[in-house]
Amino acid sequence: MSDAGKPAILVVEDDADLRKILRLQLTSQGYEVREAENGAEGFAALRASTPDCVILDLMMPVMDGFGFLKRARAIDGLTAVPILILTASEDERNRIRGYQYQADAYMGKPYDLEELTAKVDELVAQNAITSPLPA
């Protein structure tokens, strides 16, 4: 949860236009949106301030989505953060690999904004139920 009390979403996506669309959609639904343009920047943002959910592209420069997932799931404090893969890849092997690396959800591009928002709502709600309360 962010300082403002809004659930925080980290969008890790190399396409600036898509990041803007996601930011506008999610902020209109009451989320705080943080952005990163590649996996390495996203991983640094994840470590700096744990979001309530991550929306992750797979095909990015510097560090791809699989590298991000592998690193995030290797750190105890980050294993419970829900990660939604949002990708243009239609390769079924990527979907399988994403789930093997412990992604929580997978959506293809193009996508429906309402469906994406509903999935983020679901992941944030599940995370709120399963996360321990602050001491």
Would you give the DSSP letter of residue 57?
Answer: -
User: Is pLDDT above 80 for 131?
Assistant: no
Specify the pLDDT at position 27.
96
Q: pTM score > 0.85 for this model? A: yes
Tell me which CATH code domain 8-113 carries: 3.40.50.2300
Residue 132: Cβ within 10 Å count? 6
Give residue 133's pLDDT.
45
Closest among 124, 129, 114 to 50, alpha carbons compared: 124
Domain residue extents for the chain: 8-113
